[in-house]
Structure 1
Amino acid sequence: MGSSANGVAGDRTGTSNGSSSVDKGVDFANYFCTYALLYHQKEMLCDRVRMEAYYNAVFENKHHFHGKTVLDVGTGSGILAIWAGQAGARKVYAVEATKMSEHARELVKANNLEDVVEVIEGSMEDVTLPEKVDVIISEWMGYFLLRESMFDSVICARDRWLKPTGVMYPSNARMWLAPIRSGLANQKMSDYEGSMDDWFYFLDQTKTYYGVDMSVLTKPFAEEQKKYYLQTSLWNNLHPNQVIGTAAIIKDIDCLTATVNDILNLRASISSSISSEETRLCGFAGWFDVHFRGSKENPAQQEIELTTAPSEDYSTHWGQQVFLLHPPISVSEGDDLNINFSMDRSKENHRLMEVELSYEIKKSAGTLLPPFRNKFYIE
């Protein structure tokens, strides 16, 4: 589910305005085309944590929807637009860039809401509405919140179409980071070493049988395999006991006021304290939560949270993003970590992310270990 190449495809669409030279045709081919497939929608619709959070947010806060105008950014199957209509909205504009819009129209009609919900096929940046709206609802969150850069389209919709008194669903979002232990670190290193062993066998065979020495390509091949096996973050559903230290917030977003510039380049300096006895620091895990609070002037009657934190009781299709260290580091209870985190959009694809983590470990005995630095890719 969450580990597919296209990540967290779902009820959303749009194009990023955070990059000045995004080719819409290429973006559609790489990103949106898969969202027109019903199996992707089914994956999202089967995520009970996701579904129940949005369902409860709408139906426990009907005062935000009853008699109001609503914009659903990236409606996908149309489920959020249908709920808004069922909660009493006067008019719902459901925008979808792909042919999934045709399925959404059928669902709207089958649920007797065609007089309320209008499905519009087109990118959010290009669509023109006949009026401003009271509510913008969207499920825009990608891996580690910002992968896919879908929030750009929500910001565009907000700035163009939300009334000054309007509310955002969700209203707030936070990104978290925590130290973890995981057997995946050893597994991925073993995979990398196996790949290199196979490369050297290939070199020997090619020279012996075909008379061509290809060893000059060893360095770029090793860099390519290192990125694939050791530097690309992993999707995982962690158990809470794999988190070995305190979690810290690396970004807090107010969806009503955030700008694209606020999320283009993330920088954070955080600290964590190891809470487990003698263990291995195998990496860091990132996750997010979003909240449905309404606004200060028009608060929710019932605040709802959707979290993707490690849990014994549930998992989401987002899971957590895992950044593995090679080799792992021995740590113990009371050790302190000072962490500098940065995340930027990939220059090759604005929907993917590049992360740098630098950190120092101060042992409980007072010893300060040399600083470490690692680069990762969220792909």
Structure 2
Amino acid sequence: MGSSANGVAGDPAATSSGGRGVDKGVDFANYFCTYSFLYHQKEMLCDRVRMNAYYNAVFDNKDHFYGKTVLDVGTGSGILAIWAGQAGARKVYAVEATKMAEHARELVKANKLQNVVEVIEGSIEDVNLPEKVDVIISEWMGYFLLRESMFDSVIFARDHWLKPTGVMYPSNARMWLAPIRSRLADQKMNDYEGSMGGWRSFLDETRTYYGVDMSVLSKPFSEEQKKYYLQTSLWNNLHPNQVIGTAAIIKEIDCLTVTVNDILNVRASISSTITAEETRLCGFAGWFDVHFRGSKENPAQQEIELTTAPSENHGTHWGQQVFLLHPPICVGERDNLDINFSMARSKENHRLMETVNMDKGYGWFSGLHQF
């Protein structure tokens, strides 16, 4: 849920990101406009895990910022740009695609950094900077890391504006998957069955009162409701005891070298061992972490991690992405799961992701989860 600085249709980045043919107005209505509201910025600014990680990454590694040029991609409220200025940056270019840039500009001025931080309203693909930069900092991560496809614009910024010796903040990212138990599986099944019960009552009433038999639509209605209730992934903040097996990495990203093509699809074959006593496998949870390590040539003095893993006390606004199984499966301690995971960018909306097919070693689960 990073701030906005992405490209649109007509831009080279829009084509490379999978956003080919995306109308600029539609993209703004579906995505950018959300970030132009202060209430949405406040939600992210209140995420202490997020804020502490970025704050510590900057101020524990001032040598990466002091006297340097910095580019903040999708600055939002401008807080990362302000921190970079407070850490001693010579110049900070803060790029924001929405009218939030006006608020960021006022905030920079109120913190007496207007001579260091320059707020630029526009997409990063359209911006022409007067120089290349030593650091690119951005909070680009969406749900399960890649939703929203904002990372495309960070890659564009890196390829066009980062010096060969420059560093990325964050520098690395990982995606994780683990088996879970959750009452959500029962709840969503009950919701589906309740919806179908309502449909059957509707059929009876329409036949009785209006003389029209609509039962021919029962199958497409059922498929529609299955997709809505059973085949759509869910946001959740899980407790660690809901994770019932070992977590595995399904994707590792080096922000200095990754390409857009590398993140259009995520495929992984992983294994997980059940660590709980006899319980129900209700699905899988996906989360991510990012690291601030600098680069091999210019490592951070203090490596910082930001994790969105299930936490007892420190959940984040990203939570976890939950992919439910219907029906759940009984598993026992030390059972092994072999999981083939596949996720791709949605063809209908390049901001969204879809998972198709999970082979979990206990039979075949085939479905479409869009998020």
Q: TM-score, normalised by structure 2?
A: 0.96
Shift of 1:202: 1.2
Instruction: Give the Cα–Cα distance (whole angstroms) in 2 for the partners of residues 357 and 268 of structure 1.
Output: 12
Instruction: Give the Cα–Cα distance (whole angstroms) in 2 for the partners of residues 111 and 356 of structure 1.
Output: 48
Does the aligned pair in 2 maintain the 1:12–1:139 contact within 8 Å?
no
1:120-164, CA deviations, whole angstroms, 9 ceiling, x for partnerless residues?
010111111111000000000000000011100000000000000
Alignment-derived partner of residue 44 in structure 1: 44
Does the aligned pair in 1 maintain the 2:267–2:342 contact within 8 Å?
yes
Where do 5+ consecutive residues of structure 1 fail to align? 1-7, 362-368
Alignment-derived partner of residue 264 in structure 1: 264
Matches within 5 A, 1:1-379: 8=1, 10-15=2-7, 16=14, 17-19=16-18, 20-361=20-361, 369=362, 371-379=363-371
Instruction: Give the Cα–Cα distance (whole angstroms) in 1 for the partners of residues 110 and 3 of structure 2.
Output: 19
Greater mean deviation of Cα atoms: 20-29 or 333-342? 20-29
Greater mean deviation of Cα atoms: 77-86 or 197-206? 197-206
CA RMSD of aligned residues (A): 1.1
Instruction: Give the Cα–Cα distance (whole angstroms) in 1 for the partners of residues 307 and 328 of structure 2.
Output: 28
Instruction: Give the Cα–Cα distance (whole angstroms) in 1 for the partners of residues 269 and 89 of structure 2.
Output: 43
1:234-269, CA deviations, whole angstroms, 9 ceiling, x for partnerless residues?
111111111111100000000000000000011110
Shift of 1:35: 0.8
Shift of 1:103: 0.3
Does the aligned pair in 2 maintain the 1:354–1:375 contact within 8 Å?
no
Instruction: Give the Cα–Cα distance (whole angstroms) in 1 for the partners of residues 369 and 37 of structure 2.
Output: 26
Shift of 1:54: 0.1
Instruction: Give the Cα–Cα distance (whole angstroms) in 2 for the partners of residues 137 and 295 of structure 1.
Output: 13
The SS at the match of 2:67 is coil
1:41-78, CA deviations, whole angstroms, 9 ceiling, x for partnerless residues?
00000000000000000000000000110000000000
Instruction: Give the Cα–Cα distance (whole angstroms) in 2 for the partners of residues 278 and 64 of structure 1.
Output: 50
Instruction: Give the Cα–Cα distance (whole angstroms) in 2 for the partners of residues 190 and 180 of structure 1.
Output: 19
Does the aligned pair in 2 maintain the 1:68–1:134 contact within 8 Å?
yes
1:80-133, CA deviations, whole angstroms, 9 ceiling, x for partnerless residues?
000000000011000001000000000000000000101101011111111100
Instruction: Give the Cα–Cα distance (whole angstroms) in 2 for the partners of residues 174 and 12 of structure 1.
Output: 22
Alignment-derived partner of residue 11 in structure 2: none
1:274-309, CA deviations, whole angstroms, 9 ceiling, x for partnerless residues?
111111100000000000000000000000000000
Counterpart code for 1:358: M
Alignment-derived partner of residue 364 in structure 1: none
Shift of 1:25: 1.5
Alignment-derived partner of residue 3 in structure 1: none
The SS at the match of 2:21 is coil
Alignment-derived partner of residue 4 in structure 1: none
Instruction: Give the Cα–Cα distance (whole angstroms) in 2 for the partners of residues 374 and 164 of structure 1.
Output: 44
Instruction: Give the Cα–Cα distance (whole angstroms) in 2 for the partners of residues 21 and 64 of structure 1.
Output: 39
Counterpart code for 2:306: L
1:322-353, CA deviations, whole angstroms, 9 ceiling, x for partnerless residues?
10101100000111111101101111101111
Does the aligned pair in 2 maintain the 1:173–1:291 contact within 8 Å?
yes
Instruction: Give the Cα–Cα distance (whole angstroms) in 2 for the partners of residues 146 and 243 of structure 1.
Output: 22
Instruction: Give the Cα–Cα distance (whole angstroms) in 1 for the partners of residues 323 and 83 of structure 2.
Output: 37
Instruction: Give the Cα–Cα distance (whole angstroms) in 2 for the partners of residues 207 and 316 of structure 1.
Output: 50
Alignment-derived partner of residue 10 in structure 2: none
Aligned residue pair count: 363
The SS at the match of 1:216 is helix
Does the aligned pair in 2 maintain the 1:337–1:359 contact within 8 Å?
no
Alignment-derived partner of residue 365 in structure 1: none
Counterpart code for 1:12: S
Does the aligned pair in 1 maintain the 2:136–2:162 contact within 8 Å?
yes
Does the aligned pair in 1 maintain the 2:70–2:137 contact within 8 Å?
yes
Shift of 1:360: 4.0
The SS at the match of 1:283 is strand
Does the aligned pair in 1 maintain the 2:325–2:365 contact within 8 Å?
no
Does the aligned pair in 2 maintain the 1:356–1:373 contact within 8 Å?
no
The SS at the match of 2:230 is helix
